Structure 1
Amino acid sequence: MTQKCLYLLCATLMACPPLVAQSSSPAVPPVQNVQTAPITIQQAVDRALTGNPSLAAAREHLSAVHATMLTAKARQNPSLTLLGQGVTLPEINNNGGNPYYYSANVSRLFERGQKRRWRMDGAADTADVTESQLHDQERQLVLNVRQAFTNMLAAKAALGIAEENLADYRKTLDLSKAQLDAGAITRTDYERIDLQLAQFEADDDAARLNMQQTSAQLQQLFGVDHPSPTFDVTGTLEPPPLTLTMADAENRALAARPDYQAAKQSLLLSQANARFAIASGTADPTVASEYERSGADNTFGVSVQIPLRIFDRNQGEKERTRYEVDSSRFAVTAARNQVVSDVDQAWLALNTAQRQAVRYNTHYLAEAGRVRDNLQFSYRNGNSTLLDYLDALRDYRSIHLSSLNANVQVWLAIHQLSYATATDIIP
């Protein structure tokens, strides 16, 4: 009987489906680093204008300044005063009693001298100045993004140069090892070649670190707190042709520079404040009407209260705002001179960078490449010395990086001129 029961139990267990441990929450797929597509310089600018937290704070501040215009538009509120005195309470089994005396008073202050108008103008001019300052902050952010983008492109190109030089030199080192094994060169010559590998490896490490740092700096402008290691950019460092003249650049700057616009708007604000100070020296009457009931008598009256501006006629504010207007006029002139100076200096820097880039790209880079290739071929075939070959490698590396830096300086000068004119000078 016992064996039969055991047999039935085993059969039942074999027929049942296996038990599977189930989790109370669904399985979460592992996080994978997704390679993002490289972005262009315009995409980088758009992303910064959208996500930069400092710029977002400035936009909220502008909204707060616009809200002050509602306060400036408000008119003076009337005042209501209710008064009751000598109120008698009703006795028991009596029809009740009435207040002995009560009154109602309504009054309102009427502003003279168009104070409300000048107050509204001052609030509107303040909002205009703040908006121009916001545009100037956007202009500064665009410059920072373009410079960071160009620096990252340069770091990316420098890393490519370092990797190319390292790979090419390792080929030379392998060839030298074969020559050492064949007895064609001495171990001292081979070790001198091997020691130079440390410089190429150090250049590669430094270029890789610079690439990572410039990437983090650019992503920080986007409002990213933890930079992505897969972030990449795309673009060219070849200097573009420009047809703009210095006079055109100056005219563009004077028409578009937000800091110059803010200076002119500050003059309007000072003038509005001066007119408000003059208006504040006028007396504002308060007109009131009052109804009174005393016992069975009803009375109605009207009163006008006018402050006598004998001693205080707002002389101090009138004088202060007059000087502020003169100060703002000089500030407009200074801002205009600064705009022209910024454009001229950026223009001279761009011309100098263009000349240097032309020299490197059309002469020195190709010449250094030919010298390196010739001495490399000659050394590998035993027709030149080791020192000549190593000098050629150093010269080519230096000229190649100088050529890259010359192109970068052209782009940085273009960004600076665009910043000085507050426009895109590249068609």
Structure 2
Amino acid sequence: MFYKNALQKQAKWLLPLLMPIAFCHPVAAQQKQDTLTLNLQQAEKVFIDSNFLLLAQHYNVDAQKALVEQAKVWQNPTLNTDFMVGADGKYFQYHKNPDGSYNGQYYIQVQQLILTAKKRGKLIDLANTNARLSELQLQDVLRNLRYQLHQDYYNIQQQLALLGIYNGQAVQLSKLVAGMKAQLDAGNIARKDYVRVQALSIGLQQDMVELQKSLADNQADLKTLLQIKDANQFVKPAESLSGDVAMPDNLESLINTALQTNPSYLLQQSQTKYQQQNLVYQKALKTPDITLGPNFDRNSNFAPNYVGLGVSLPLPVFNKNKGNIKSAEANIKQQQAITQNAETELRNNINNAYKKLALSIELNNSTQKDFYSSYTAIYNNMIDSYKQRQINLLEFLDFFNDYTDSQKKLLGQQLNLQLAKEELQYHVNR
């Protein structure tokens, strides 16, 4: 009974100390899972090899290319025939008469549609442009998914780095809380000081839980892109978040490259080309197509065995396809306006991304790197100074919070640098 009461009493004040320790090793908990460590290039390879959205878009490209082959095929000929079944109470009288002539009548004609005004070639052009559109759509899907993949990858890098800082702080706080508890029991410190450090520890725990939630969201997105279905698998970036990015070529060079490589813009250009080809095709439809039909007729014409050639074509009297031509002309103007807007938007997006990258690189200079490095050393000294009672609790807590904010800003700055680089690459598609 004595030991039970003692354990209960001990657990009552040990619980606040154990809680920070329980929260300070989320990475270790993840390592118990099946950890898949990938660098960015390896993650891209897994993504390209396994993503179902890319696979579905690939099938769409194949389907459009198959339609190109279909457009090259000629129309099938049509067989028309008429056989006598019965006449004068007699049925299926197909035999020779005594004079050698044939009895009975039948008619056979084979018709072939001949497309005029090079319609077949124009249909092939439309099918080729459609196939090109599907290829550009695939490239755009790939570009968007790759951009999302890179964003998730860098976000996870930043979150793991910040979690590592929180882990270290949680360990320090757990030791500090334990020491202050002993001092409190001995009557050497006020309870308000002890409670304040406990509040700091609990606040840190809450920050860690929120960070882990965001990490879980990014993990879910990344695993979806990589088609990883194992809930116990944790994707860990092989590299740490880097603060080194080189400024790219001059702005005008990037814009010129983007106008040749950005699939979203090229898609609008191809849409314009498609509408122009459609106008040419609609104008060609004014010219009527010809149907040729050689035929053979036995015993229903002036000659017993008649061979003829039928020619059929519609007369463009009422329908000259004017409505479709006007519609195609309007579609061209509409698409040209959309393409011009897409070019303006692309130029502005690259301008904006280029400026943001320049600002991020400028912010991430060597002076700031030295500052954050020395700040960490000072932080470690402040912990030792507080333990040795060289500074008071208020000074320690203020510095602790300032250090946490500075490290979050540093990691946020490094993340923004990588994301700014990715945004520029996204628009240039290089």
1:96-115 equivalences in 2 (<5 Å): 100-115=104-119
Give the corresponding residue for 2:357: 350
Give the corresponding residue for 1:246: 251
Does structure 2 conserve the Cα–Cα contact (< 8 Å) formed by 1:108 and 1:286? Answer: yes
Does structure 2 conserve the Cα–Cα contact (< 8 Å) formed by 1:360 and 1:406? Answer: no
Report the 3-state secondary structure (helix = DSSP H, G, I; strand = E; otherwise coil) of the residue aligned with 1:289: strand
Q: Distance in 2 between matches of 1:342 and 1:392?
A: 40
Q: Distance in 2 between matches of 1:313 and 1:287?
A: 22
CA 1:393–1:413: 2 relative to 1, 3 Å: same
CA 1:36–1:375: 2 relative to 1, 3 Å: closer
Does structure 2 conserve the Cα–Cα contact (< 8 Å) formed by 1:263 and 1:331? Answer: yes
Report the 3-state secondary structure (helix = DSSP H, G, I; strand = E; otherwise coil) of the residue aligned with 1:304: strand
Q: Distance in 2 between matches of 1:208 and 1:305?
A: 76
Over residues 136-195 of structure 1, what are the superposed CA-to-partner deviations in whole Å (9 max), with x where a residue is unaligned? 110001000000111111111111111011012222223334444555433443333233
- Matching residue's letter, 2:352: Q
CA 1:72–1:172: 2 relative to 1, 3 Å: same
Give the corresponding residue for 1:291: 296
Q: Distance in 2 between matches of 1:167 and 1:274?
A: 72
CA 1:397–1:301: 2 relative to 1, 3 Å: same
Give the corresponding residue for 1:84: 83
Does structure 1 conserve the Cα–Cα contact (< 8 Å) formed by 2:245 and 2:421? Answer: no
Whether 1:372 aligns to 2:379 is: yes
Once the two structures are TM-superposed, the CA of residue 242 in structure 1 deviates from its matched residue by 1.2
Does structure 2 conserve the Cα–Cα contact (< 8 Å) formed by 1:360 and 1:403? Answer: no
Does structure 2 conserve the Cα–Cα contact (< 8 Å) formed by 1:166 and 1:204? Answer: no
Report the 3-state secondary structure (helix = DSSP H, G, I; strand = E; otherwise coil) of the residue aligned with 2:289: coil
* Aligned counterpart in structure 1 of residue 129 of structure 2, from 96, 120, 125: 125
Whether 1:164 aligns to 2:174 is: no
Once the two structures are TM-superposed, the CA of residue 89 in structure 1 deviates from its matched residue by 4.2
Give the corresponding residue for 2:45: 46
Does structure 1 conserve the Cα–Cα contact (< 8 Å) formed by 2:47 and 2:225? Answer: yes
Whether 1:60 aligns to 2:59 is: yes
Does structure 2 conserve the Cα–Cα contact (< 8 Å) formed by 1:39 and 1:232? Answer: yes
1:188-267 equivalences in 2 (<5 Å): 188-244=192-248, 245-267=250-272
Q: Distance in 2 between matches of 1:95 and 1:113?
A: 50
Once the two structures are TM-superposed, the CA of residue 34 in structure 1 deviates from its matched residue by 7.3
Give the corresponding residue for 2:280: 275
Give the corresponding residue for 1:395: 402
Give the corresponding residue for 1:321: 328
Report the 3-state secondary structure (helix = DSSP H, G, I; strand = E; otherwise coil) of the residue aligned with 1:231: strand
Q: Distance in 2 between matches of 1:358 and 1:65?
A: 50
Select between 70-79 and 202-211 the one with higher mean Cα deviation: 202-211
Over residues 286-333 of structure 1, what are the superposed CA-to-partner deviations in whole Å (9 max), with x where a residue is unaligned? 222221111892222222223211121111111111222233333332
- Matching residue's letter, 2:251: M
**Fraction of identical pairs, as percent:** 24
* Aligned counterpart in structure 2 of residue 175 of structure 1, from 168, 176, 179: 179
Give the corresponding residue for 1:362: 369
Report the 3-state secondary structure (helix = DSSP H, G, I; strand = E; otherwise coil) of the residue aligned with 2:83: strand
Report the 3-state secondary structure (helix = DSSP H, G, I; strand = E; otherwise coil) of the residue aligned with 2:316: coil
Question: How many residue pairs are counted as aligned between the two chains?
Answer: 389
Stretches of structure 1 that go unaligned for 5 or more consecutive residues are 1-32
Stretches of structure 2 that go unaligned for 5 or more consecutive residues are 1-31
Does structure 2 conserve the Cα–Cα contact (< 8 Å) formed by 1:55 and 1:138? Answer: yes
* Aligned counterpart in structure 2 of residue 405 of structure 1, from 398, 407, 412: 412
CA 1:359–1:109: 2 relative to 1, 3 Å: same
Give the corresponding residue for 1:18: none
Select between 109-118 and 354-363 the one with higher mean Cα deviation: 354-363
TM-score (norm 1): 0.83
Whether 1:137 aligns to 2:144 is: no
Once the two structures are TM-superposed, the CA of residue 416 in structure 1 deviates from its matched residue by 0.7
Once the two structures are TM-superposed, the CA of residue 367 in structure 1 deviates from its matched residue by 5.4
Once the two structures are TM-superposed, the CA of residue 343 in structure 1 deviates from its matched residue by 0.8
Report the 3-state secondary structure (helix = DSSP H, G, I; strand = E; otherwise coil) of the residue aligned with 1:109: strand
CA 1:36–1:393: 2 relative to 1, 3 Å: closer
TM-score (norm 2): 0.83
Q: Distance in 2 between matches of 1:259 and 1:387?
A: 56
Does structure 2 conserve the Cα–Cα contact (< 8 Å) formed by 1:86 and 1:99? Answer: no
Q: Distance in 1 between matches of 2:188 and 2:163?
A: 34
Give the corresponding residue for 2:6: none
Whether 1:312 aligns to 2:352 is: no
